[in-house]
Structure 1
Amino acid sequence: MTETTAPEATAPEDLRARAASALLASNRRRRRIRRWIAIGTLPLTLAALLFVGKVLSMYAFAHQSITAYVADDFAGSESAAHGQEFLNWFEPYKAPFNAGTALAGAEELSASRAKLEESLDLATGLEVCSVRINLGLVIERMGDAARADGDGTGAAALYGEALTVTSEMPPECDSDEAEEQSSDPDRDMQQSKEDLEGRLKQKQQQQTPPEEEQPQEESEPQPSEDKLDELKDKLEQGTQERDQQQGEDGGGSGTDKPW
């Protein structure tokens, strides 16, 4: 009787081998899929990290700028404000606004005005309210400096520019929402605007020279009717006497003597 190998003995081992091979292949496919997903989502992940980092850094620089300004460290406040400029897509007006405010604290008024005007160009909506208030205050101080130097005409012109800046604030700046967005929560924006406009008008009037009154020419008194008659009689009498004198002399040279 010939010996044969029973098929039942090898079938389970083949099944286990095929199952293991399939599992390994499946695992390799999953790893490849995960790797490609990771590669594909890498830009999004980096963008998300950049976004979070930018938001955090923006708040950090803003807080540092405000803290330094309160401590009268105007150079530090300006430096922190410049840190807000890089890739500031969210509130681009804030970097020049904080820098301009810090420069005003350091009495660098011309540079401060330039930064605040840059901020005004970038501001939208209710953002312009705080910018216009600070810009008006800076130009007012420039007018005060010109007045202290004896330049009354230049001071009056600057006061007029500051008044224009504040008077062009949109009506929405009087709303509660604008107050909530104010850069100084302790400042009533509407009251600040009214006080500023009142001061500017008063200072502008003080620097405007009064119009010189033209001296009125004194009118010569007109002679009365009696005086005119008297002068007429004298003229006639003089003419008669002259004619008599010429007759006695036997004629003259032919020219009348001037009176």
Structure 2
Amino acid sequence: MSTANPTQADAAAELLAVNRRRRSIRRWVAIATLPLTLAALLFVGKLLSMYAFAHESISSFVAGGYAESESAARGQDVLNWFEPFKAPYNIGTAMAGAEKLPEARAELEEALPLATGLDVCAVRINLSLVMERQGDAAQADGDAVAAAEFYGEALQMTVETPEECSSDDAQNQSPDPNRDMSDTLKDNQQRQQEKQQQSQQNPDQGEQPQEPDQSDPQDRPSQSDLDDIEDRLNQGAQDREDQQDGEGGGGGTDKPW
């Protein structure tokens, strides 16, 4: 009966101990790096979901599905670490398309301080358009004073837009490449200024009651005269409607980006 060489036995025992130490080290390394691995997986998952929600939000908005666009944009708001302005920007833009103007304004105002660089351009443009639409709504309700205030806020938002937003780099980064950002800013400023001035010139429009007609019956216009005046008014209203349709509707206010 033979016995193992002491040297070989010692070597085998040392090798076994080394293997145990290596397994132990690998186990502790795996435990130590587990949080980093989970964080990396979470980050990748967030990126993929962010782009998926953003694509769905944009596609729904273009198709006129503003409720679906808003719902998808709210998916971006979960763990909103990467480009945090995009979630409230997309939510506000979708709400603006659905004419939820106060809610849209609140979301875009939340997005504005979160945006940096050229990302500020689109946020400012949409926020100014929402303010302008609020002015249109107030004007339609006969409140020229409130309308003038909204138009003033919209104009200030447009005027304070950085000059870089009229650059080629800003246009390349625009959410709507089919619309020139520089031309849009100029058109918005001119239109909002004109609306503000018109509202300030007619502060009591729609608020004054009509006085009783005390004229002599013989001095009153005939039925044919009234028909002629009505035809002219109808034609003027049709001309204004055609002009607004040519400008994109919404009371002559541009649509959000």
**TM-score tier (shorter):** 0.7 to 0.9
State how far apart, in whole Å, the 2-side matches of 1:14 and 1:58 are.
Answer: 64
SS at match of 2:201: coil
The Cα offsets for residues 81-105 of structure 1, whole Å up to 9 and x where unpaired, read as 1111122222111111000000011
* 2:84 maps to 1:92: yes
TM-score normalised to structure 2 length:
0.74
Corresponding residue number in structure 2 for 1:134? 126
Trace 1:189-200 onto structure 2 (pairs within 5 A): 189-200=181-192
For residue 35 of structure 1, the aligned residue among 27, 31, 48 is 27
1:60 to 52, 72, 79: 52
Measure, in 2, the Cα distance between the counterparts of 1:37 and 1:43. 11
- Residue 236 of structure 1: aligned partner: none
Identity of aligned residues (%): 63
Q: Is the 8 A contact 2:144 2:202 kept in 1?
A: no
Candidates 103, 113, 120, aligned match of 1:121: 113
**Equivalence for 1:49:** 41
Deviation sequence 1:218-244 (CA, Å, 0-9, x none):
xxxxxxxxxxxxxxxxxxxxxxxxxxx
Q: Unpaired runs of 5+ in structure 1?
A: 212-259
Where 1:208 maps in the other structure, the secondary structure is: helix
Q: Distance in 1 between matches of 2:129 and 2:136?
A: 11
Distance (Å, rounded) in 1 between the aligned partners of 2:6 and 2:27: 32
The count of aligned residue pairs is 203
CA distance in 1, matches of 2:155, 2:176: 21
Q: Which residue does the alignment assign to 1:79?
A: 71
Aligned partners of 1:191, 1:159: CA distance in 2, in Å? 19
Query: What's the CA shift for 1:21?
Result: 2.2
Q: C-alpha separation between the residues in 1 aligned to 2:136 and 2:202? A: 20
Question: How far 1:154 sits from its partner (Å)?
Answer: 1.7
1:94-129 CA distances to partner (integer Å, 9 max, x unpaired)?
111000000011111111111111111222222211
Instruction: State which drifts further: 152-161 or 15-24.
Output: 15-24
Specify whether residues 108 and 44 from structure 1 end up closer, same or farther in structure 2 by C-alpha distance, changes over 3 A only. Answer: same
* TM-score w.r.t. length of structure 1: 0.73
